[in-house]
């Protein structure tokens, strides 16, 4: 099933704000890759609760620059509004519709842990190219289709033990991408790939509950919603047992694999 934007709750939004250090940290890497400069105008697509945007506004672009964040989940934007400031504005909005923004109006656009939620990547990238200034840069961190996160592997094992077909369940989103797909999508949008790197992150969780909190909040309620409630409860029990079995002296170690991509709009765009 495609991800739903109807499953978020105030509790999940607050939880995400408190457990999203991992996304925040790799967001900082993405900003380094993009070499965001003082005075630039930046669009943060899928800004969530606004933590990264707040950092960009105060530490990267400064008072002469501006950060605009959009996200389709109103409850996350409510939290992001608390972080808004004179040079950091947020509103409800979707990656697929950037019509609120003028052509060639941003130096930088980024999507941090957002692109794998988007079904229609072509329309998103066409919009991004339109709003980027000539030579402006796009940064994306996105889950890899070829190298699933450890939690997905554990899930596939859990499903197999219930004779369930892991080919039809995605855990949360079916829209992860391969390197070849990314290259092709950028090409179709007329964006120039500058850098594409797969990075591996080791996450240590103290207990099973914190693993599940992280994945439910990060997926705005979409984790394991592919099943009917009774099947889901059984799969969840098995998943919990398998996660517990991985617990070692440093807690539960799970890796995530993310592509980091930087692309640019051509200099002679218009
Ligand atoms: C894992 S969170 C990442 C949030 C934030 N970028 C961060 O680094 O913490 C994924 C975000 O993607 C957003 N998202 C999902 N579908 C979207 C869409 N169609 N357009 C824009 N954002 C979307 C969700 O609302 C959610 O806030």
* 92-116 confidence digits (pLDDT tens): 999 999 999 999 999 999 999 999 9
- The token pair that represents 31 in the structure block: 């900003």
Burial of 245 (0-12, 13-18, 19+ CB in 10 A): exposed
Is residue 113 lining ligand 1, measured as CB closer than 6 Å? Answer: yes
DSSP classification of residue 110: E
* 122-141 confidence digits (pLDDT tens): 999 999 999 999 999 999 99
What pLDDT is recorded for position 93? 98
* 26-84 confidence digits (pLDDT tens): 999 999 999 999 999 999 999 999 999 999 999 999 999 999 999 999 999 999 999 99
Taking the centre of ligand 1 as the mean of its atom positions, its distance from the CA of residue 229, in whole angstroms, is 25
Nearest to 16 by CA among 62, 59, 43, 51: 51
As a whole number, mean pLDDT of residues 227-253 equals: 92
Beta-carbon neighbour count of residue 21 at 10 Å?
11
Listed in sequence order, the residues at least 6 apart from 218 whose beta carbon sits closer than 8 Å to its beta carbon are 16, 19, 20, 23, 113
Taking the centre of ligand 1 as the mean of its atom positions, its distance from the CA of residue 162, in whole angstroms, is 31
Taking the centre of ligand 1 as the mean of its atom positions, its distance from the CA of residue 270, in whole angstroms, is 30
Alpha helices for the chain (secondary structure H): 10-19, 21-34, 51-55, 74-83, 121-131, 150-161, 179-189, 208-218, 229-245
The DSSP bridge partners found for residue 89 are 68
Domains of the chain, by residue range, sit at 10-148+174-204+258-264
The lowest-confidence range among 25-34, 96-105, 146-155, 252-261 is 146-155
Which architecture does CATH list for 10-148+174-204+258-264?
3-Layer(aba) Sandwich (3.40)
pLDDT exceeds cutoff 60 at 270: no
Beta-carbon neighbour count of residue 204 at 10 Å?
11
The answer to whether 203 and 254 are in contact (CB under 8 A) is yes
pLDDT exceeds cutoff 70 at 167: no
Could you identify the residue written with the tokens 């890796």?
255
Is residue 15 lining ligand 1, measured as CB closer than 6 Å? Answer: no
pLDDT exceeds cutoff 90 at 2: no
DSSP H or E stretch at residue 152: helix 150-161
Best mutation site among 27, 114, 151 for ligand 1 pocket (most ligand atoms within 8 Å of CB): 114
Which residue minimizes the CA distance to atom 10 of ligand 1?
Answer: 114
What are the two backbone dihedrals, phi and then psi, of residue 110, each rounded to the nearest 5 degrees? -135, 155
**72 CA closest ligand 1 atom index:** 25
User: What pTM does this model have?
Assistant: 0.96
Taking the centre of ligand 1 as the mean of its atom positions, its distance from the CA of residue 196, in whole angstroms, is 21
């Amino acid at each position: 099933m495609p991800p739903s934007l109807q499953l978020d709750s105030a509790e999940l939004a607050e939880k995400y704000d408190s457990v999203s250090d991992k996304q925040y940290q790799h967001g900082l890497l993405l900003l380094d890759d993009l070499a965001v400069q003082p005075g630039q105008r930046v669009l943060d697509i899928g800004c969530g609760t606004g933590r990264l945007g707040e950092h960009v506004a105060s530490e990267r672009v400064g008072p002469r620059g501006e950060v605009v964040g959009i996200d389709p989940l109103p409850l996350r934007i409510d939290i992001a509004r608390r972080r808004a400031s004179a040079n950091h504005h947020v509103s409800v909005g979707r990656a697929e519709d950037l019509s609120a923004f003028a052509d060639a109006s941003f130096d930088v656009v980024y999507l941090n842990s957002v692109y794998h939620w988007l079904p229609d990547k072509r329309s998103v990238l066409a919009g991004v190219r339109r709003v980027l200034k000539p030579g402006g840069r796009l940064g994306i961190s996105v889950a890899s289709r070829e190298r699933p996160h450890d939690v997905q592997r554990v899930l596939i094992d859990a499903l197999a033990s219930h004779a369930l077909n892991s080919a039809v369940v995605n855990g949360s989103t079916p829209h992860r991408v391969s390197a070849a797909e990314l290259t092709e999508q950028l090409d179709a949008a007329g964006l120039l790939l500058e850098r594409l790197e797969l990075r591996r992150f080791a996450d240590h969780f103290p207990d099973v509950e914190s693993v599940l909190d992280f994945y439910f909040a990060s997926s705005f309620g979409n984790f394991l919603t592919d099943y009917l409630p009774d099947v889901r409860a059984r799969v969840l029990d098995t998943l919990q047992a398998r996660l517990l079995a991985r617990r070692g002296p440093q807690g539960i170690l799970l890796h995530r694999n993310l592509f980091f991509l930087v692309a640019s709009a051509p200099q002679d765009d218009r």
